[in-house]
Amino acid sequence: MKTIVIALAWSVAFQIHASSADEWTTAAPREEIRPQFQTTDTGGRSGHGALTIRADNREGLHGWWQRTLPVTGGRHYRFSAWRRAENIDVPRRSVLARVLWRDDAGKDVPRREGVLTNFAKAVVAFAEPEYPRESGPGKDGWVKLAGVYEAPPGATQARIELHLLWAPNGNVQWSDVSFLPTEPPAPRRVRLASAHYRPRGAKTPMDACRQFAPLIEEAARRKADLVVLGETLTYAGVGSSYADCAETIPGPSTDYFGELAKKHELYIVAGLIERDRHQLFNVAVLIGPDGKVAGKYRKVCLPDGEYDKGMSPGSDYPVFDTRLGKIGMMICYDGFFPEVARELSNRGAEIIAWPVWGCNPEQARARACENQVYLASSTYEDVSRDWMLTAVFGQDGSVLAQAREWGTVCVAEVDLNHRTLWPWLGDFKAQIPRQRPVARGE
């Protein structure tokens, strides 16, 4: 009952309205770039008032509202706020909230647990700022930012900051801000698998498909939730032309893999060749546990060996919301270009499935690391070639599991709610939306 009383008290005290506006202060990196600040007793998203920041027509202005609250190290807290931005070209860059952990003296707090130590060895890491993420728009232009965070040991204060920066003539209203004790987020454990196999001696595309059945069964036996198969597996197994191995999606191969997905209650990603009227596409198809096609991705980056033979490129980067999490796909040569994986992560991908004939494994590590996603690859390269791996890569680019022998499956269990913390960067994944460059036309 005591916890409920505290939570209710904080909830009332930490909503923006007339009685609490005076508890906020304003700040700027330098006075010469300080924007204008204003409080209102009414209005805002819920009518309880708002904290407003306005910039004039100069470039480079930056300022924020701030407030400090007591916290207990080791306890979790839920931050929530709504913002409405006006006349701002790229709100994701110019409007942000932060939570900073401080000790009794208002100084940075060392973070010894949970920070990656395989890089920047012997560095004493500190608890870096938290960056609440946008969780979808509401009515009338209001957008919610939220996150759950554990106060690190040694932290006794949390400083809440609400920013506007780099937005000439822009303004933002902040409303309904709360910071409450809460329970830790439940893990979202997922078992990712990849098959290390190239079909041999198949006379038909379906013969090639059938050769993967034992590997899918093995993945299921090891309780995999998702298994990734190879690129253009019907073509790789038959050795005919692209056109001869092409089919519609859905089609015979997806029907076959759909039966296996339903039988084993898992997701399958299979690399196939799609025919769409006169065009051929190198595709990765996501098949759900219900046996149906849950989505497909058409390879965007085509090497000359594919477009010379009449393949067409895809033009989109779909991400599919599944019971496991948000899944994106890319195919082989896509991995040589950072834009593909980045666009998938921009659209929320937590897992990238990658059928890949061959690629530089360092680029696999980079695609996972630079986007802070889990990546599952299935290749036709033998380990003796020291080239691409059939593996599951972690958010830091490390190999979590690898299949070294032909006809085997690797499986890794990951937690999609796990935050990878880095020295100097903290939770880099949360910062990517705020700090990545502005794309042309964005």
Catalytic annotation present for 332:
yes
Distance (Å, whole) CA 268 – CA 105: 53
> Sheet containing 390-393: which strands, arranged edge to edge?
319-321, 326-329, 351-356, 374-379, 390-393, 399-403
The catalytically annotated residue of 231, 274, 306, 343 is: 231
> Sheet containing 76-86: which strands, arranged edge to edge?
36-40, 50-54, 171-182, 76-86, 143-150, 133-137
Q: What 3-state class would DSSP assign to 130?
A: strand
Residue 266 phi/psi, 5-degree rounding, is: -145, 170
Spatial contact of 392 and 412, defined as CB atoms under 8 Å apart: yes
Residue 400: other Cβ atoms inside 10 A = 20
DSSP, res 205: H
- Identify the CA nearest to 183 among candidates 102, 58, 77: 77
Catalytic annotation present for 231:
yes
Q: Is 105 exposed, middle or buried (0-12, 13-18, 19+ CB in 10 A)?
A: exposed
Distance (Å, whole) CA 256 – CA 64: 57
The catalytically annotated residue of 128, 245, 299, 369 is: 299
Residue 52: other Cβ atoms inside 10 A = 22
Distance (Å, whole) CA 147 – CA 134: 9
Catalytic annotation present for 413:
no
Enumerate the β-bridge partners of residue 97: 162
- Identify the CA nearest to 402 among candidates 368, 379, 420, 372: 379
406-409: long-range contacts, CB 8 A cutoff, minimum separation 24 = 406/196, 406/197, 406/198, 406/382, 407/196, 407/197, 407/214, 407/215, 408/195, 408/196, 408/197, 408/215, 408/218, 409/193, 409/194, 409/195, 409/196, 409/215, 409/218, 409/219, 409/222, 409/224, 409/227
Cis bond before residue 184 (omega within 30° of 0): no
The catalytically annotated residue of 209, 245, 301, 332 is: 332
Residues with active-site annotation: 231, 299, 332
